[in-house]
Amino acid sequence: MTKVKKYWKGIEELENSPEFRKSVENEFPEELPVDKFLGNDALADTSTNRRDFLKFLGFGVTAATIAACETPVNKAIPYLNKPEEITPGIANWYASTYADGNDYASILVKTREGRPIKIEGNKLSPVTKGAVNARINSSVLSLYDSARLKNPLAKKTAATWAEVDKEIKSQLEAIAAKGGKIRILSNSIISPTTIKAITDFAAKYPGTEQVTYDAVSYSGILKANQANFGSAIIPDYHFEKAEVIVSFGADFLVNWLASVEYAGQYGQTRNPKNGKMSRHFQFETTLSVTGSNADVRVAIKPSEQGLAVLALYNIIAKAKGAATYDAGIADEYKEKLQEAASELLAAKGSLVVCGSNDTNVQFVVNAINSLLGNYGNTIDTATPVYLKQGDDAKMEALVAEMNAGSVDGIIIYGVNPVYTYGEKFASALSKVKLKISFADREDETASLVDYVCPDNHYLESWNDANPKKGQYSLGQPTISPLFDTRQAQESLLKWAGIETSYHDYLKANWQTTVGASWEASLHDGFYSVPVAQVAAEPVKPAAVAATTETPAAPATDISSAAAALRKGVSAGTTELQVYIKTGLGDGSQANNPWLQELPDPISKVTWDNYVTMSPKQMAELGLSRLERGDDNADVVEVTANGVTVKAPAFPQPGQKYGTVGLALGYGRTAAGKTADGIGANAYQFVSVVDGNATYAAYDVTVKATGEKYQIAATQTHHTLMGREAIVKETTLTEYLKDPKSGNPQVKLQTTNHGKQPVKDINLWRDHDLKLGHLWGLSIDLNSCIGCGSCVTSCTSENNVAVVGKDEIRRSREMHWLRIDRYYSSDMTEDIAAEKGMGAIDKFTEMEAASENPQVSFQPLMCQHCNHAPCETVCPVAATTHSLEGLNMMAYNRCIGTRYCANNCPYKVRRFNWFKYSDNEQFDFNMNDDLGKMVLNPDVVVRSRGVMEKCSLCVQQIQAGKLTAKKEGRKIKDGDIQTACASACPTNAITFGDLNDETTLVSKLSKDDRSYNLLEEVGTQPNVYYQTKVRNVKESA
């Protein structure tokens, strides 16, 4: 017998216990949890068995299939009583006003079937002249923000207006009865009728006082002017009259004061055609949009700003024979300051502005402007600007008052101080008995109050505005309130016992105080009164004291200010500059996905703020400089004034060595799902010094944490690497010698007949371009300031999807129009040749931007090539050429091979990697019934798997042609505007018919500065660029 080895499966088998034997007999060691599976007993009683289930399944599938073949029953529900002005399918335009306490613009609102879908500038307005910025044209999406409150809240629970009014009124009356204090905390109110409503409210409740608080404060200027002119005003600046502009940290093209207006004025001075251009000096810490447009940019530390201003004063004062004061400025700035000063002195009109909020600095700036004779020329004190009225000292006093428990009631209107002013405000707020907020959402502040009485969105409201003396504009609702909200002014009137609607109240006030025809003003959107005729200042904002006769120029005794500046600040090795980004601004519209996804004009980063640092300093600290597309930024801890913030470090060429920058507007915690948790709150570093908010910290420590953070930038390569045909540029001196300078004709050698112009070398069968229209664009790189207004305007017009940070990291942004930003490099072909460098070394060095680079912006959309490489490779002819020069894209034909995108030399084609609408993964406005109301019904929402790109707003072209046909006339130049052209504040983009010789665009396309991008490729685009002309001296 063979011995069979016995193996046990386990100790249980060896022991062979009765339990084990029982379990062996059972094949499945555990009972199948059938009961659990079925869940409830009721299922066992049902008559549905497996066969029935299959029957139902089969029936369901068949029914669905058959139903799919049925004619869809679509309902068409007409109006019962059609309003006369509405014709379905035709847009209505209304003139209105955007004023949010930061930006002001007279606007036109496009509505379709009662829904506002697009904001454009009002070209008739004498103030903004049709300019808008990214924040303004994106504001239409904020209307459809689902984070907005849908009804009033009382003690955090939903309530009705009747309940809320009753409770608030009784409490206000109780406060008034005992002589208690009520405070209305608001941003700068430029609406005369709102001020009247507040006055009426204060008349009913005598303890009421209004406190103006601006999150981004200009109280330094107001106080300096108070000292100089006896009234706290901001004068009207005229950049268009200035031959030399010197700005100390004022980002006046996109953020500072009335930037929308200034951008247009600045654009006027940048046309070399007239033989001259303004010369622009910028002394600043973090590279700003304004700084990147400057002819001379000097990076300085925040602590040196005051001294630099004083040093400039000294040079000018010396020349003018006025008193000078020792500035003690570092030697490195002396040369540029001297250059600026001598040019200022030589110029007929000049302007010196400063972004500092320090009264002393502004005092010296006034003195400089006074010495230069700019008052009455480029600075108009007779026309005060009312956009900013906040006094930081008064806000401090209010918080002290609240902490002392002496404020009985507070009404918060248009501001979010818990976010912008900080926790100090939250604790002070808790000591106020009656807390009311007009916030449109339960934001950081509104979540701490007793009653939230949500204000309408501005597109749902009546309002007026008085941005500067003599200029009035009206805001009108373009849609009924979407939710159960009420205009803040109406709430105030109601509580004051005035039962008229705000519309009637406004109309009466407009007619009596402004004295203009209501209908005409409503149609135009604005009304202007010559300043001299604004007799008794009928509608002066509360914070602006009465001005009688303003002196033409301020006194120039600045000794005390100079002494204060000279004393300086105790600066450490590293300083912090808090700055404003073009997209988010002060952060009030942070929950707007279009603005979050708008790449920052300078850094090209989306969806984040970050610590900007000089690349040199980052190398010293061992931080990643994000080279070659690396997006893993090192997280650093920035500590200043006892506050520590963690944020990724971002290498910013042009950032002053020894400084860091952090943008405002991020780090929201209660703005809504889009904004919450994104970035760090830079307001924490804002401190109040000498009664003014200071947007800098002078002793900062920056420490690496070892953590990594992925940032999403749309551009990761920053220099042109010696390529000359992309951004062509020249200097003013060269341009005046030869208008074609910097724009040589591109010639290529193909045969032994020598070099030929590219246009003559042709592999293609030409389209007949002479027939009918030939649409084209001309983009003046000299006027383009890179602000990004065109990008959001395009997004709004063409239903461009928001894809979110993660997709942008994968380079899958959908923007049809991008603005490429290039830095100059210290290494050029010439230098490399001189040094005899090898190609690898040369290109390695070319990749790095200069420490303080020259910057160029280049808006790039589909170039609508007449020899389009994309058209050739499409296997299904989904992209084809039209007789009118358009490169067309038929989405329904596209099968998504992406050959076209690969073959496009401009990389302007965008692929729909996903379905971005109705997709939980892309939870932005297109995944939301409310957010979808912003979509333009004339443009298809693209689906997954198709390519898309700039159509040159073909819907506008078609509509413009149709109007002309119906009216039986030729198309007038300017009749048709693309979204980008209409949104450009500096008119850098011009659209029109290239075949019509009378149009501006056809003239521009034949200009000496005009060129096609990558001309040597032979694509023959219909988009033309104009050479950038820098007003720099040859020595540079």
Residues found near another protein in the complex (CB under 8 A): 69, 71-82, 87-90, 765, 768, 770-772, 877-878, 880, 882-884, 886, 888-893, 938-940, 951, 954-955, 958, 961-962, 964-971, 995
Q: How far is the CB of 817 from another protein (least distance, A)?
A: 16
Rounded CA-CA distance 687/677 in Å is 23
Phi, psi of 983 (to 5 degrees): -90, -10
Eight-state DSSP code of residue 189: -
- Helix intervals (H) in 756-818: 789-797, 805-809
Rounded CA-CA distance 430/448 in Å is 8
What SS3 state is found at 649? strand
Q: How far is the CB of 74 from another protein (least distance, A)?
A: 4
Alpha carbon separation from 844 to 431, 509, 837, 854 (Å, rounded): 61, 66, 11, 19
Q: Which is nearer to another protein, 722 or 945 (CB)?
A: 945
* Tokens (6 digits) for 397: 């006093």
Q: Which is nearer to another protein, 687 or 882 (CB)?
A: 882
What is the phi-psi region of residue 953: left when phi exceeds 0, alpha when psi lies from -120 to 50, beta otherwise?
A: left
Q: How far is the CB of 81 from another protein (least distance, A)?
A: 5
Strand partners, 888: 880
Q: How many CA atoms lie within 13 A of 82 on its CB side?
A: 9
Q: How far is the CB of 68 from another protein (least distance, A)?
A: 9
Q: Which is nearer to another protein, 689 or 962 (CB)?
A: 962
Q: How far is the CB of 1007 from another protein (least distance, A)?
A: 23
Q: How far is the CB of 118 from another protein (least distance, A)?
A: 16
Closest CA to 724 of 842, 830, 578: 830
Q: How far is the CB of 1005 from another protein (least distance, A)?
A: 17
Per DSSP, the residues of 241-286 read G-SEEEEES--TTTTSSSHHHHHHHHHHTT-GGGS---EEEEEESS
What SS3 state is found at 1008? coil
What SS3 state is found at 115? strand
* Residues 251 and 95: beta-carbon distance below 8 Å: no
Rounded CA-CA distance 60/344 in Å is 82
Q: How far is the CB of 961 from another protein (least distance, A)?
A: 7
Where b means 16+ CB within 10 Å and e means fewer, 526-558 reads bbebeeeebeeeebbbbbbeebeebeebbebeb
- CB-based burial label for 407 (10 Å; 0-12, 13-18, 19+): buried
Q: How many CA atoms lie within 13 A of 591 on its CB side?
A: 21
Q: How far is the CB of 964 from another protein (least distance, A)?
A: 5
Q: Which is nearer to another protein, 147 or 959 (CB)?
A: 959
Q: How far is the CB of 300 from another protein (least distance, A)?
A: 50
Residue with tokens 């309003």: 83
Q: How far is the CB of 965 from another protein (least distance, A)?
A: 4
Q: Which is nearer to another protein, 217 or 887 (CB)?
A: 887
* Tokens (6 digits) for 1025: 């660029």
Q: Which is nearer to another protein, 32 or 73 (CB)?
A: 73
Q: Which is nearer to another protein, 939 or 1000 (CB)?
A: 939
Q: Which is nearer to another protein, 175 or 976 (CB)?
A: 976
Q: In what order do the strands lie in the sheet with 407-413?
A: 157-158, 153-154, 451-452, 434-437, 407-413, 181-186, 208-212
Q: How far is the CB of 525 from another protein (least distance, A)?
A: 24
Q: Which is nearer to another protein, 112 or 241 (CB)?
A: 112
Sequence-separated (6 or more) residues with CB below 8 Å from residue 746: 725, 757, 758, 1015, 1016
Rounded CA-CA distance 633/658 in Å is 19
- Helix intervals (H) in 836-986: 839-846, 869-873, 899-903, 954-967, 979-983
Q: Which is nearer to another protein, 563 or 962 (CB)?
A: 962
- Helix intervals (H) in 602-661: 615-621
Rounded CA-CA distance 132/147 in Å is 25
Q: Which is nearer to another protein, 71 or 480 (CB)?
A: 71
Closest CA to 891 of 955, 954, 948, 951: 948
Q: Which is nearer to another protein, 107 or 886 (CB)?
A: 886
Q: How far is the CB of 372 from another protein (least distance, A)?
A: 52
Q: How far is the CB of 967 from another protein (least distance, A)?
A: 8
Q: How far is the CB of 78 from another protein (least distance, A)?
A: 4
Q: How far is the CB of 186 from another protein (least distance, A)?
A: 39
Q: How far is the CB of 67 from another protein (least distance, A)?
A: 13
Q: Which is nearer to another protein, 316 or 886 (CB)?
A: 886
Maximum CA pair distance of the chain?
129
Q: Which is nearer to another protein, 77 or 532 (CB)?
A: 77
Q: Which is nearer to another protein, 830 or 967 (CB)?
A: 967
Q: Which is nearer to another protein, 80 or 1036 (CB)?
A: 80
Rounded CA-CA distance 140/983 in Å is 14
Q: How far is the CB of 60 from another protein (least distance, A)?
A: 21
**Residue 729 Cα to chain centre, angstroms:** 27
Q: Which is nearer to another protein, 45 or 997 (CB)?
A: 997
Rounded CA-CA distance 445/399 in Å is 14
Q: How many CA atoms lie within 13 A of 467 on its CB side?
A: 27
Rounded CA-CA distance 909/818 in Å is 11
∠ Cα 538 539 542 (to 5°): 125
The one-letter amino acid at 59: F
Q: Which is nearer to another protein, 678 or 953 (CB)?
A: 953
Strand partners, 781: none
Rounded CA-CA distance 452/445 in Å is 10
